[in-house]
Amino acid sequence: MTAPGDLQQALFLRLKGDASLSALLGGAGLLESPTGNVAFPYVTCGQTCAFDWDTGAENRDDQLITLHVWSKAHGEAETLAIMDAIKARLADAALVIGPRGQTRLSLEFTEARYDEDLLVHHGLLRFRALTQESA
């Protein structure tokens, strides 16, 4: 089974290669875990769930991974622009994760909302990653 950390590393590597996303985030806006003084906007990796579908005939694993977009801009335009850039870069992408094989991503869910407690715009993107092990 592909480790969740391997998937996160491959996702972030692909996202860091997108100049338009980097411009929207102001450079170093892809974070494994934010510190107290992190500059907005930024993207973090949230919950990852993994499922093993080894049938004996083929070895596949399935993961759900959630990316979080955080913005303090007035209005939700910045959050939506960042989410659109992430979708464009990752939806239906194929990633190679180590020697195990190829992972195909598909977008499962998006949501943009305003968090009144934190006073931030919060975007969520959940992707399904299906990995088929190479023979």
Q: At what angle do helices 77-90 and 4-16 cross, to 10 degrees?
A: 110
Which residues face 128 on adjacent strands? Answer: 64, 106
Report yes or no: 93 and 81 within 8 Å, Cβ to Cβ: no
What CATH code is assigned to 4-133? 3.30.2000.10
Task: Please give the model's pTM, rounded to 2 decimal places.
Answer: 0.86
In angstroms, rounded to a whole number, what is the distance separating the alpha carbons of residues 43 and 47?
A: 13
Tens digit of pLDDT per residue, the chain (135 long)?
Answer: 456 678 888 899 999 989 999 999 987 788 887 777 889 999 999 877 765 655 554 556 788 999 999 999 999 999 999 999 999 999 888 888 866 668 889 999 999 999 999 899 999 999 998 887 665
Domain boundaries, the chain: 4-133
111 CB neighbour count, 10 Å cutoff: 10
